[in-house]
């Protein structure tokens, strides 16, 4: 269409033209959005976000225990989360957290930090 043709169209014809253009544009935008989301999933390696709105928890590496109960060596604590009862009892008895540290060889420390 040439520029002069637009001025000669009636309002009804212009509305039909507008409806056609918006329909085609919305289809193209939906298709482009689907392509972009597929590329994003491919880059991330996982789903962007599940449709129900829940996000997946990221995996955390296992944490080695840092403190040990001297009375029962099988009871350990990593230093994260709530303090266990045995640790609270030891602290009330006058021990310091440093007294309850697990002795590790330097090779084990290097492996954890590296």
- Read off the pLDDT of residues 30-75 as tens digits, 9 standing for 90 and up: 999 999 999 998 888 754 455 666 778 888 888 999 999 999 999 9
pLDDT at 107: 46
Residue 52 forms part of a structural domain: no
46 in the Ramachandran plot: left (φ > 0), alpha (ψ -120 to 50) or beta? beta
39 and 71, same domain (yes or no) = no
Say if pTM beats, i.e. exceeds, 0.75. no
Q: What phi and psi, each to the nearest 5 degrees, are found at residue 79?
A: 95, 0
Count of C-beta atoms within a 10 Å radius of residue 7: 6
Q: How far apart are the C-alpha atoms of 81 and 63, rounded to whole Å?
A: 12
**Higher pLDDT, residue 89 or 113:** 89
Q: Into how many domains does the chain fold?
A: 2
Those residues whose C-beta lies under 8 Å from the C-beta of residue 17, and which sit 6 or more positions away, are 9
Element (H, E) at 67: strand 67-68
pLDDT value for 43: 86
Residue 80 domain-assigned (yes or no):
yes
What does the pLDDT look like over 1-34, one tens digit per residue? 666 687 888 999 999 999 999 999 999 999 999 9
Domain residues for 10? Answer: 3-44
For position 41, what pLDDT does the model report?
A: 87
- Please indicate, yes or no, if residue 58 is contained in any of the structural domains: no
Task: Assess contact for 32 and 25: CB atoms under 8 A.
Answer: no
Gyration radius of the chain over CA positions? 33
Mean pLDDT on 97-109: 75
Residue of 76, 73, 74 lying closest to 64 (CA atoms): 76
């Amino acid at each position: 269409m040439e520029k002069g043709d637009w001025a000669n169209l009636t309002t009804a014809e212009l509305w039909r033209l507008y409806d056609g253009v918006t329909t085609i544009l919305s289809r193209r935008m939906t298709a482009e959005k689907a392509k972009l989301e597929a590329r994003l999933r491919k880059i991330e390696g996982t789903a962007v976000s599940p449709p129900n709105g829940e996000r997946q928890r990221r995996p955390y590496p296992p944490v080695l225990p840092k403190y040990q109960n001297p009375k029962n060596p099988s009871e350990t604590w990593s230093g994260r989360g709530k303090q266990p009862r045995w640790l609270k009892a030891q602290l009330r008895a006058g021990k310091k957290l440093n007294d309850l540290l697990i002795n590790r060889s330097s090779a084990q420390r290097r492996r954890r930090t590296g």
